[in-house]
Structure 1
């Protein structure tokens, strides 16, 4: 899979500190001029649906599971690779200092109508919900959050970059 970008958070030195890797899968699904995204109220941002791949899963299996759980997507078909976004950022628990996240992004086809999402407790607490959004409106929204909000999460840099890359290729 082609590497789209490697991002290193400015507060860390990847040569120092204990780090671990976390493979993740992220879905790109379209409905006419809209893309399926997760809106997170806590951070006031949009992100691609997806998440961590369990140790017994392939990347595609993890992608399908995460997309279904987060959005209620049905009849998921993984169509093509889009790219890999790799990042190193601070970890918040005592066991490690740095997390190395590899986000494998795939274009998918799904039914337009979404079923019932099965969000994890922390996702519910963060106010996450799936939405079909105009990609340019989502990019502008995330850029406003980056510029003006103190409640932004660490993933907004990745997500805004990915949305811009998707817009360049598909819109």
Structure 2
């Protein structure tokens, strides 16, 4: 799979002598015309691509399908193809490590337009997450406004907005 980008959080001056926790994630890129299936998160006021962490020993594609079904209620997932890898180094706030090295494996796929039931985790419910079909250009503009003006923005918005720009350029 092609490497898209590697980012290092601005709070990390160096990685020397740091304990690094590696987290593999899988993300699903689903487009229909100029619409893209995204997750709106009220807490962070942003749009993100469905996906999340893989369970120990879980196959990458199986994890992507699981996350897509849980977060959006997607049905009839098919036509899965690799899109690219996005790597991030971020501060980690748990005692077992100093830095998280998150590797996002992104795949494109097709689904039925109508979504079914979601199965959100407690923190996703508390954050006000919901699946939406959104015009990709409107989602990019929204996220760019959040980056520029919002105190609520999360650490993932730069990754998500970069990916949305790349998807719009290559797939729309």
Q: Is the 1:78–1:106 contact (alpha carbons within 8 Å) kept by the matching residues of 2?
A: no
Query: Structure 2, unaligned stretches of length 5 or more?
Result: none
Q: Under a length normalisation based on structure 2, what TM-score does the superposition of the two structures give?
A: 0.97
Partners of 2:18 and 2:78 in 1: CA distance: 39
Write the deviation string for residues 1-50 of structure 1: whole angstroms up to 9, x where unpaired. Answer: 10000000111122232111000000001123200000000000000000
Partner of 1:2: 2
Aligned alpha-carbon RMSD (Å): 0.9
Query: Structure 1, unaligned stretches of length 5 or more?
Result: none
Q: Find out whether 1:126 has 2:112 as its counterpart.
A: no
Q: Under a length normalisation based on structure 1, what TM-score does the superposition of the two structures give?
A: 0.97
Write the deviation string for residues 61-114 of structure 1: whole angstroms up to 9, x where unpaired. Answer: 000000000000011114211100000000111221100000000001111100
Aligned length: 171
Partner of 2:107: 106
Partner of 2:11: 11
Partners of 1:16 and 1:155 in 2: CA distance: 25
| SS of the residue 2:100 aligns to | strand
Partners of 2:135 and 2:156 in 1: CA distance: 20
Q: Map 1:22-101; keep pairs closer than 5 Å.
A: 22-101=23-102
4+ runs deviating over 4 angstroms: none
